Amino acid sequence: MKEQLKDLVNKLQMELKNCEKEAEVLNVKSKYLGKKSELNNYLSSIKDMTPEEKKINGPLLNQIKKELEKLVDEKLEVINNQEILDFDDTLPVEVEIGSLHPITIVAKEVTDILKRMGFTVVSGPEMESDYYNFEALNVPKDHPARDMQDTYYLDNGMVLRTQTSDNQIHAMENYGAPLRICAPGRTFRNEDLDANHENTFFQIEGMVIDKGVSIENLLYVMKNVLSELFKKEVSVRLRPGYFPFTEPSYEIDMSCLICGGTGCPTCKHSGYIEMVGSGMVHPNVLKAGGIDPEEYTGFAFGIGLTRLTMMKYKINDIRVLNSGDIRYLKQFNID
Ligand code: DAH
């Protein structure tokens, strides 16, 4: 039987030599190691052998079986490696490539510009406490300024943040002064929807705190951000405004790029679009963040990221941005 088994090994080796594909090897494997194989016949005959025969043939059969299996495995490995080498990476592959949402693209561009000016990007929670969204920002309960923002109050006593300004307090608490942060994020207000209003929109908050910071610095940063983003000089207009967390407060408008400043429904026929709320950080806000207003001053700004995106891509209906209409949204790309 020893001779016959050795012969099996030789025959298997010969057959494997001619195999080029995995399937061919598997056929050979089943022929030599499968249920109907010669080897299997020998294995099932063990039970009819005498104890002496068993003692000799049992280990021998096992050893041959292992040898055959090893030869098959080795051949399979060679073929699999060969298939990887044979893979033609010049063949065209059809892959559906996704695209970034236009708001994501503009948020990245603006934060990249701010990062180059030394800002660190931070983020805060969308479900916020009344303290961070209002009180620490110098908007106590019953303050009339709460009416400026139609708030979603949640059953658990929290709010959906109405503004990214909550990041100001988190950042002061986390990092102290001096400070230079920006925070893009989603915000929520109970607005009636139309071409210019959404209940879910995006802002980018900015805050700089240091010794001797002035409104000049704020204007420089704003002009730089808008000109770099639009890759041309953008004309801006500064108006006195009111925000409880800044004193003095300013609204910064930019010329409407949808109509070129001649007037259209998007800019309410004024030629300008309100884009940024800003001002010098109110001493109460610095105090809430644990910073001494005698020692430090700061400015802060909140850019309407959704509006900015509409300007950048000349989108005249805000609702498409939350529509999830991929055919529309996938046409934008980072330039
Ligand atoms: N949070 C304000 C809003 O949503 C915008 C704003 C105004 C942000 C003045 C600021 C600021 O940081 O200083 O209307």
- pLDDT tens digits, residue range 200-224? 999 999 999 999 999 999 999 998 9
Number of residues that this document lists for the chain = 335
Closest-CA residue to 273 (of 218, 196, 206): 196
Spatial separation of the C-alpha atoms in residues 225 and 308, rounded to whole Å: 11
Bridge partners of 121, per DSSP, are 182
Q: Measuring from atom 4 of ligand 1, which residue has the nearest CA?
A: 163
CB 120 within 8 A of CB 160: no
Q: How much is the pTM?
A: 0.72
Cα of 166 from ligand 1 centre, angstroms = 10
Residue 243: CB within 6 Å of ligand 1? Answer: yes
Cα of 42 from ligand 1 centre, angstroms = 86
Cα of 278 from ligand 1 centre, angstroms = 6
* Per-residue model confidence (pLDDT) at position 266: 82
Q: Measuring from atom 13 of ligand 1, which residue has the nearest CA?
A: 278
- Atom of ligand 1 at shortest distance to CA of 246? 13
Looking only at the bridges linking them, the beta strands covering 179-188 and 120-121 are parallel
Q: Cα angle at 151 between 147 and 154, to 5 degrees?
A: 145
pLDDT in tens, 5-57: 899 999 999 999 999 889 999 999 999 999 999 999 999 999 999 999 899 89
* Per-residue model confidence (pLDDT) at position 174: 97
Closest-CA residue to 203 (of 277, 298, 119): 277
Q: With a cut of 70, say whether residue 335 has pLDDT above it.
A: no
pLDDT in tens, 238-283: 999 999 999 999 999 998 888 888 999 888 899 999 999 999 999 9
CB 271 within 8 A of CB 234: no
Residue 266: CB within 6 Å of ligand 1? Answer: no
Pocket test for ligand 1, best of 172, 301, 307 (most atoms within 8 A of CB): 301
Looking only at the bridges linking them, the beta strands covering 200-210 and 179-188 are antiparallel
Alpha helices in 87-118 (DSSP H): 102-116
First to last CA, the chain: 76
pLDDT-derived band at 334 (thresholds 50, 70, 90) equals low
